[in-house]
Amino acid sequence: MNNSSVRHTKWDDIPLETVKDDITRRLFTGDRMMIAHVYLDQGAIVPKHSHDNEQLTYVLDGALRFWLGEEGSDDYQELVVATGEILFIPSGVPHRAEALEDTLDVDVFSPPRQDWLDGTDSYFHDES
């Protein structure tokens, strides 16, 4: 084991990043995975996007409505993920979400979301 890469912290010690007016997050990343606390105000929209990363979303408090896949396709689905529920989104699946109430979720990505790390996640500002 390489102890030089071991890190330990408290969530509250991780800076809170403003994504947009109604979404903030805290990120903690390793070499091959990332975990994030995402705070969404009721009505917040995560616009449609997709990524190569696998995603787990675990709702700690609140509820998110997801639209998954391409509308009109056989695998398109709409579902609500509420407190205590987990959603797996495979690599490449288009998805969008809306916070049905004030929500705190834990998102886990593998590999880490480079666009979140370098600030190129511009889809958050494209409401089309």
pLDDT per residue rounded down to tens, the chain (128 residues): 566 689 999 999 999 999 999 999 999 999 999 999 999 999 999 999 999 999 999 999 999 999 999 999 999 999 999 999 999 999 999 999 999 999 999 999 999 999 999 989 888 876 54
pLDDT at residue 24, rounded to an integer: 97
Q: What separation in angstroms does the CA of 54 have from each of 33, 35, 36, 112, 115?
A: 10, 12, 14, 9, 14
- The pLDDT of residue 122 is 87
The reported pLDDT for the residue numbered 4 is 67
Model pTM score = 0.92
Q: What local confidence, expressed as pLDDT, does residue 124 receive?
A: 84
Domain residue spans in the chain? 14-120
Q: What's the CATH class of domain 14-120?
A: mainly beta
Spatial CB neighbours of 81, under 8 Å, sequence gap ≥ 6: 57, 59, 63, 64, 66, 87, 105
